[in-house]
Amino acid sequence: MYDRVLVPTGVGDDAERTINCALDVAQRYDAELHVLRVSDPERASVETPETDPDGARDAREKRPEISNRVGERAVAGGVNVVSAVRCGPPVETIREYADESEDLVLLPDRGGFCDESYRVGGVVGRCLRECSISVMTVRAEH
């Protein structure tokens, strides 16, 4: 059913649930897992301690570490993994990467990916509307 599954990496508990779900889907369908790290240069250039009080900068710095951990877990689970880094606005970057050859995108339903505006209706909502392939959201634990 799915040959290539895309999971843009984020941080936090919601991102961990999404990554675990993506690994499960990839294992179940013997699919290749694409781990995408998106860097938005416009946001990075304007963040200062005053505009970044909640640690978005720290989260951004942890993304390479998270991508590496996902890759290690995927390989340990027998999943072929492709890791990629792209620069640009999150929605457009995810959509363009997904349109290249992916079958499914998995995203958390809220929080942790780029900033506190990441909610259904934000990046996730736009990906749901704009991606030409299936997008699955993973519900956060409440």
Query: For 57-69, what is each residue's pLDDT tens digit?
Result: 554 555 566 667 7
With b for 16 or more beta-carbon neighbours within 10 A and e for fewer, the 100-113 pattern comes to eebbbbbbbbbbbb
Alpha-carbon distances, residue 59 vs 12, 25, 46, 96 (angstroms): 8, 26, 16, 24
CA atoms of 5 and 2, how far apart (whole Å) = 7
What is the average per-residue pLDDT within 8-32? Answer: 86
Which range of residues forms the domain containing residue 41?
Answer: 4-138
38 and 6 Cβ atoms separated by less than 8 Å: no
* CA 84 and chain centroid, separation: 11
Q: Is the pLDDT of residue 142 over 70?
A: no
Check the CA dihedral 56-5-142-92 and report its sign: positive
pLDDT of residue 139: 85
Query: For 90-104, what is each residue's pLDDT tens digit?
Result: 999 999 999 998 899
pLDDT of residue 116: 46
Domain count, the chain: 1
pLDDT of residue 94: 94
Q: In CATH, what number is assigned to the domain containing residue 88?
A: 3.40.50.620
The residues pairing with 137 across neighbouring beta strands, listed in sequence order, are 107
For residue 32 the two structure tokens come to 């290749």
